[in-house]
Structure 1
Amino acid sequence: MKFKFLLALVAVVCFSCTKESAPLVPVEITIVSKSGILEIHYTPDRIDTLTKKQGSMTLQMLDGDLITIKRICPEAGALEYNIKTPTSSYLSILMKNGDENRHLIPKY
């Protein structure tokens, strides 16, 4: 019985050591408008803020992750930003304070 238990334990340890982790995907977010502030929610409990003065930021995400981008500036007019991954790039627009968009990071 002890031999079977030890054999099972060795198999579990070997499997967990050889398991590959998912590759990280660089995601670049750039504010295109003349001004604005974005609140970026990603990974389970991460929140960052991006301002026009900063220009852009690059996050390391897992493929298939979800990013929520929320506008937190009361200025009038649309706030445009670009979100770029290794496989895609697109322009998004938030019209007023409190609006939010969700972006699913595409798998390679």
Structure 2
Amino acid sequence: MRLGAVSGIGAVGRATIGLFESVTKQYHSREVTGDMEIASLAGNISELNGEAYLHLHVTLTDATNAAFGGHLSAATISCTGEIIIDGIDGHVDREFNEEIGLNLLKF
């Protein structure tokens, strides 16, 4: 599958989340560990250089129900991961935009 929408809920024990800083054009990532609920997982599947490309964002909650999240780079499911992928016919490419510093959708 090369085009789709992703959504999900579940639980993780470790995740790498990040924030893109528009001024420096750099991702700032951090690894979080412990029991966390996936309150929301949302994203899409497109293509970059002929390969499937996942772009995911996540909201996690900790034991105090505090929420935090951002761009999801990696995660380890701890109990369950109920992830739905809705495939879409066709394909959409991405292309690196030097001005913005990101791989943007190319329609």
For normalisation by structure 1, the TM-score amounts to 0.30
- Whose helix proportion is higher, 1 or 2? 1
- Of structures 1 and 2, the larger Rg is shown by 1
More strand by share: 2
Higher RCO, Cα 8 Å, sep 6+: 2
TM-score (norm 2): 0.30
